[in-house]
C-alpha cells in the first residue's frame, strides 16, 4: 500500500497538504483550493474541508477570506516588480559549477503542481554545486523532461541555465524568488561543509513562461555569515 | 582624542575601511577609491595604498582591476531589474509597527557616503519593530534630516515609509536590496526574542532618488527558521 493510499481520505489529504507546505507551498501563493483537492482525491468537499480545518485548528495554516489558505506564523515581505530581469548579471565573478546528478525523475507533488503536470509525470532534475572564492552553494533545479535530452551536463557547467532554457525555446516571462534563513541540519552540514546549526541562506525560485507554467523551479542553499549575499537592484523607468 | 584621530594615518584609514565593511560596504559597490580616501584623510596616495594593501594581505578585501576593492570571500548573486517596484504590496497582511526611537543624529560614515553628505552632517534615524503573527522584525532606517520635522512618528506607525517619503517629495528611482543569513548575537537575541545562535535573516536596503543619492538606507533583521521570508516577483514586459 503506497503512503498516499493509506488511511482515511481526510488523513491522506492532510498528509498531501503537509508535503506541499514542507516543499515551500502556501507562502507566495495560496495552497490548492478545497474543491480542487476534493476532485483530485475523489472525495466530497466536506471531507476536504475537514482536512483543512484540522490544519487550521493546529495552527499550521490560516484562511484569508477570498484569497485562500496560507502557512501561518509566516511573515512574507514581497516586492512586485514589473520589468525585465537581466539574468546575465546574475552572479558576480566567475563561478565554478559542478553537476552532481542530472536525470529524469517523477515530479514531486509541489513541482508537478507548479509545472501543471499530472502526478507521476517526468521532469528533469539537476543537482549541482557552485563555488566562488571557496564558498560553496548547493542547487536543486527541476525543468521540463525534454530539457534532459536537449542540454548536456557539460553545457550546464559552462553556461547559465536561463541561457540554456532560452536556447531550448523556453522564455521566462515572470517569476518569484523567496529567501529565508535556517540552521544547518545534517544534510546541509555535509553538503555545504559547515557545522551543524550554522546559519544557512535558502533561496526558492519559480520561473514561469508566458502562459504562467513554471519551467524552472528549485532551491539554492548557501552558508550564511557574510560569505553569501543575495540581492537585486531595480531601476524605475525614467519618465523623461 | 577621538578614535578617528588616534594612531598613524594608515591605521586611521584601515579603521575607517573596516567600519565601512562592517556596515555593509564593499559588496554591491566597491569600497571608496584610494585617491578619494587619501584626499579625505589629507595624506599621500602611497599612505592610503598602504592601508588597502594591509587589508588585501590579511584577506579581508580583494582588488578587481578596473572596478575597485571589494570584501573578499563574499559571493554576491544579484539580479538587476529594470522596472517599477510596487511598494504597496511590500508586506502581506496587516503589520504592527512600533517606533522605538526617532531623531536626528550625525550620519555614520557608510550612511554619509551613500547619501552624499559630509562627515558629521545630520540625518534622521528611525528604529522600529514590526510584528505580524507574533513574528517580530527590527528595522533601522536613515533618511534625510529634513524628514524628521516633516513626518511625525505616529504617521510612521500607520503608513509605509516609502509613501511618507513620496509625500515629502522624495521619489525612489532605483535601489538595491541584499539579504544574508547570520547567527543571532546578544543584541539580536534580546531584540528579536530568540536564543543565541538562532538563524537571522538580515536585509540591507539602499533606495535612491533620480540623482542617485540615497534617501532611505537601513537594515531589517528577522528571526529565521520559516517564520520570515523575503522575496520578490517579477513580470517581464509583454511584447504583444
At A28-59, the pLDDT tens digits run: 678 999 999 999 999 999 999 999 999 888 77
Determine the average pLDDT of the residues in A57-72.
Answer: 82
Contacts (Cβ under 8 Å, ≥6 apart) of A232? A85, A177, B78, B79, B80, B81, B176, B177, B232
Best to test chain A binding among B23, B76, B81, B90 (most A CBs inside 10 Å): B81
Cβ distance A86 to B81 less than 8 Å, yes or no, reads: yes
In this predicted structure, what is the pLDDT of residue B236?
Answer: 79
Chain A nearest-CA distance from B43, in A, is 31
Mean pLDDT of chain A, nearest integer? 85
pLDDT digits (tens, 9 = 90+) for B3-58: 456 789 999 999 888 878 766 678 767 899 999 999 999 999 999 999 999 988 87
Determine the average pLDDT of the residues in A180-199.
Answer: 88
Chain A nearest-CA distance from B229, in A, is 5
- Assign B94 a pLDDT band (cuts: 50, 70, 90): low
Cβ distance A199 to B224 less than 8 Å, yes or no, reads: yes
Chain B nearest-CA distance from A51, in A, is 22
- Assign B133 a pLDDT band (cuts: 50, 70, 90): low
What percent of chain A has a predicted confidence (pLDDT) above 70? 88
Q: Which of A133, A134, A232 sits opposite B232 (nearest CB)?
A: A232
In this predicted structure, what is the pLDDT of residue B55?
Answer: 87
Q: Which of B28, B84, B226 sits opposite A182 (nearest CB)?
A: B226
pLDDT at B1 over 70: no
In this predicted structure, what is the pLDDT of residue B58?
Answer: 77
Mean pLDDT is highest, among A145-149, B154-158, B232-236, for: A145-149
pLDDT at B2 over 80: no
Contacts (Cβ under 8 Å, ≥6 apart) of B35? B45, B48
More confident residue, B122 or B131: B122
- Contact indicator for A57, A47 with CB cutoff of 8 Å: no
- Assign B231 a pLDDT band (cuts: 50, 70, 90): confident
pLDDT at A170 over 90: yes
In this predicted structure, what is the pLDDT of residue A91?
Answer: 63
pLDDT at B153 over 60: yes
- The CA distance from B56 to B44, in Å, is 19
Q: Which of A81, A91, A226 sits opposite B232 (nearest CB)?
A: A81
Cβ distance B91 to A81 less than 8 Å, yes or no, reads: no
In this predicted structure, what is the pLDDT of residue B169?
Answer: 93
Chain A CA closest to residue B137 = A75
Determine the average pLDDT of the residues in A84-103.
Answer: 78
pLDDT digits (tens, 9 = 90+) for B194-215: 899 889 999 999 999 999 899 9
Helix axes A9-22, A45-57, angle to 10 degrees: 50
Cβ distance B179 to A179 less than 8 Å, yes or no, reads: yes
Cβ distance A225 to B182 less than 8 Å, yes or no, reads: yes
Determine the average pLDDT of the residues in A165-193.
Answer: 89
Q: Which of A173, A199, A222 sits opposite B75 (nearest CB)?
A: A222
Best to test chain A binding among B139, B207, B233 (most A CBs inside 10 Å): B233
Determine the average pLDDT of the residues in B129-141.
Answer: 82
Chain B CA closest to residue A201 = B181
Enumerate the residues of chain B whose CB falls inside 8 A of the CB of residue A180: 201, 224-226, 228-230
Q: Which domains, and CATH codes, for chain A?
A: 9-71 (1.10.10.10), 87-223 (3.40.1410.10)
Chain B CA closest to residue A27 = B229
In this predicted structure, what is the pLDDT of residue B3?
Answer: 43
Helix axes A34-41, A9-22, angle to 10 degrees: 120
Determine the average pLDDT of the residues in A74-87.
Answer: 79
Site of grid cell 594591509:
B54
- Contact indicator for B105, B140 with CB cutoff of 8 Å: no
Contacts (Cβ under 8 Å, ≥6 apart) of A181? A199, A200, A201, A202, A224, B181, B199, B200, B201, B222, B224, B225, B228
Chain B CA closest to residue A63 = B93
Best to test chain B binding among A179, A201, A214, A223 (most B CBs inside 10 Å): A179
Best to test chain A binding among B174, B180, B209, B212 (most A CBs inside 10 Å): B180
Q: Which of B181, B182, B230 sits opposite A77 (nearest CB)?
A: B230
A7-11, A163-167, B75-79, B215-219: range with lowest mean pLDDT:
B75-79
Per DSSP bridges, beta strands B75-85 and A228-235 are parallel
Determine the average pLDDT of the residues in A8-30.
Answer: 82
CB neighbours of residue A36 within 10 Å: 12
Cβ distance B84 to A132 less than 8 Å, yes or no, reads: no
Cβ distance A177 to B232 less than 8 Å, yes or no, reads: yes
Best to test chain A binding among B56, B65, B69, B79 (most A CBs inside 10 Å): B79
A154-158, A231-235, B170-174: range with lowest mean pLDDT:
A231-235
Cβ distance B83 to A234 less than 8 Å, yes or no, reads: yes
In this predicted structure, what is the pLDDT of residue A134?
Answer: 66
Determine the average pLDDT of the residues in A67-91.
Answer: 78
Cβ distance A173 to B235 less than 8 Å, yes or no, reads: yes
Q: Which of B77, B83, B180 sits opposite A83 (nearest CB)?
A: B83
In this predicted structure, what is the pLDDT of residue A50?
Answer: 94
- Contact indicator for B215, A215 with CB cutoff of 8 Å: no
In this predicted structure, what is the pLDDT of residue A3?
Answer: 43
pLDDT at A240 over 70: no
pLDDT at A2 over 50: no
Distance of CA A41 to the CA centre of its chain: 23
- Assign B62 a pLDDT band (cuts: 50, 70, 90): confident
In this predicted structure, what is the pLDDT of residue A94?
Answer: 58
Question: Is ipTM over 0.90?
Answer: no
| Beta strand residue intervals within chain B, DSSP E | 61-64, 68-71, 75-85, 96-106, 122-132, 135-144, 174-183, 199-208, 214-223, 228-235
pLDDT digits (tens, 9 = 90+) for A115-147: 999 878 999 999 999 876 667 889 999 999 999
- Assign A239 a pLDDT band (cuts: 50, 70, 90): very low
Cβ distance B86 to A91 less than 8 Å, yes or no, reads: no
In this predicted structure, what is the pLDDT of residue B237?
Answer: 65
Distances B111 to A46, A234, B20, B74, B206 between C-alpha atoms, Å: 57, 20, 9, 21, 10
Chain B CA closest to residue A24 = B226
pLDDT at A162 over 50: yes
Backbone φ/ψ region at A221: left (φ over 0), alpha (ψ -120 to 50), beta? beta
- Assign A226 a pLDDT band (cuts: 50, 70, 90): low
Cβ distance B90 to A81 less than 8 Å, yes or no, reads: no
pLDDT at A194 over 50: yes
What percent of chain B has a predicted confidence (pLDDT) above 90? 38
- Assign B224 a pLDDT band (cuts: 50, 70, 90): confident
Amino acid at each position: 500500500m503506497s503512503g498516499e493510499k493509506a488511511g482515511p481520505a481526510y488523513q491522506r489529504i492532510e498528509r498531501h497538504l503537509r508535503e506541499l507546505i514542507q516543499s515551500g507551498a502556501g507562502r507566495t501563493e495560496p495552497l490548492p483550493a478545497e474543491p480542487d483537492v476534493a476532485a483530485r482525491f475523489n472525495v466530497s468537499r466536506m471531507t476536504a474541508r475537514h482536512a483543512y480545518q484540522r490544519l487550521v485548528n493546529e495552527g499550521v495554516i490560516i484562511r484569508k477570506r477570498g484569497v485562500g489558505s496560507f502557512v501561518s506564523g509566516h511573515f512574507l515581505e514581497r516586492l512586485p516588480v514589473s520589468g525585465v530581469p537581466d539574468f546575465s548579471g546574475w552572479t558576480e565573478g566567475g563561478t565554478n559549477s559542478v553537476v552532481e546528478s542530472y536525470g529524469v525523475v517523477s515530479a514531486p507533488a509541489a513541482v508537478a503542481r507548479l509545472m501543471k503536470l499530472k502526478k507521476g509525470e517526468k521532469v528533469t532534475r539537476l543537482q549541482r554545486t557552485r563555488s566562488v572564492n571557496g564558498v560553496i552553494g548547493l542547487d536543486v533545479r527541476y525543468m521540463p523532461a525534454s530539457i534532459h535530452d536537449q542540454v548536456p551536463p557539460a553545457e550546464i557547467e559552462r553556461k547559465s541555465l536561463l541561457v540554456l532554457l532560452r536556447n531550448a525555446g523556453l522564455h521566462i516571462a515572470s517569476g518569484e524568488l523567496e529567501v529565508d534563513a535556517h540552521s544547518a541540519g545534517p544534510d546541509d552540514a555535509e553538503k555545504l561543509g559547515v557545522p551543524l546549526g550554522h546559519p544557512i541562506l535558502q533561496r526558492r525560485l519559480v520561473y514561469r513562461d508566458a502562459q504562467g507554467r513554471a519551467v524552472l523551479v528549485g532551491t539554492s542553499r548557501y552558508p550564511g555569515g557574510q560569505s553569501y549575499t543575495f540581492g537585486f537592484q531595480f531601476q524605475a523607468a525614467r519618465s523623461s
